[in-house]
Structure 1
Amino acid sequence: MEILRHIVVFIHITGFAVLFGAWAAEAFGGRRRFTRLMTIGMVIAAVAGLALAAPWGIEYELNYVKITVKLVVLLIIGALLGIGAARRRKSGSVPSVMFWSVGVLTLLNAGIAVIWR
């Protein structure tokens, strides 16, 4: 069961890597836009994170504060991606603050996943 949990952690981190990689490609490419790949990475991270939050055959207590903080950050990222995509369709661009916030929050969320015990 522990091997399965490690596989889900790997998928969770991979979701953040996809989201951050797609964001970084846009940032370093000089474009400020949200892509479908960013949304896919966020969904992968969210689904795997929810699977990790389920108490399935573990002998220790889950850190519900960490889970809540990560969920709130992920919801903010999702809201920024959704609002930014709608603004891009309407005006043709994403506000810089919104774009850079997604990158910072993604790094924050991945850092919380790895560092906070």
Structure 2
Amino acid sequence: MEFLRHLLLFLHFVGLASLLGGLLVQMKGPDRRILPAILHGALTQLVTGVLLVGVIQGGLGEHVNNSKIGVKLIVVLIITVLAWVNRRKPTIATGWFFGLTALTLLNVAVAVFWR
């Protein structure tokens, strides 16, 4: 179970790198859009996050902070839905783009600073 936990955590970080990298690479550009890396990163974060909670709480019998997990789940669901809805548009509004970036950074901040 510990190996599965580490594998899921690794994939969770890969999803974060894909999501945040897809956003940051477009930061200077005039036209911003939902790259496949953004959508796939958000979906990877969602799936691996849910599986991580299941492995930690169910398989390993450890306690997780359900409030923290709930906030993180809501934020990643919003990111995923926004990315999914806007995935076929040639460009997205600057406000939406920076909103996605802020939500992504918020999720990282919740993971790091909320104990």
Q: Tell me the TM-score range normalised by the shorter chain.
A: 0.7 to 0.9
Distance 1:9 1:114, change over 3 A: farther
User: Which residues of 2 match residues 1-117 of structure 1 at below 5 A?
Assistant: 1-54=1-54, 55-86=57-88, 88=89, 92-117=90-115
Q: CA RMSD in A?
A: 1.8
Contact 1:85-1:94 at 8 Å conserved across structures: no
Structure 1 residue 79, shift from structure 2 partner: 2.0
Distance in 2 (alpha carbons) for counterparts of 1:66 and 1:27: 29
Identity %, equivalent residues: 35
Structure 1 residue 78, shift from structure 2 partner: 1.4
Q: Spell out, residue by residue over 1:23-44, the C-alpha distance to the aligned partner (whole angstroms, 9 max, x if none).
A: 1112234431111111111111
Amino acid in structure 1 at the alignment position of 2:98: W
Q: What are structure 1's unaligned runs of at least 5 residues?
A: none
Count residues in correspondence: 113
Distance 1:74 1:65, change over 3 A: same
Structure 1 residue 15, shift from structure 2 partner: 0.6
* TM-score normalised by structure 1 residue count: 0.84
Amino acid in structure 2 at the alignment position of 1:38: I
Distance in 2 (alpha carbons) for counterparts of 1:109 and 1:103: 10
Structure 1 residue 53, shift from structure 2 partner: 1.6
Q: What are structure 2's unaligned runs of at least 5 residues?
A: none
* TM-score normalised by structure 2 residue count: 0.85
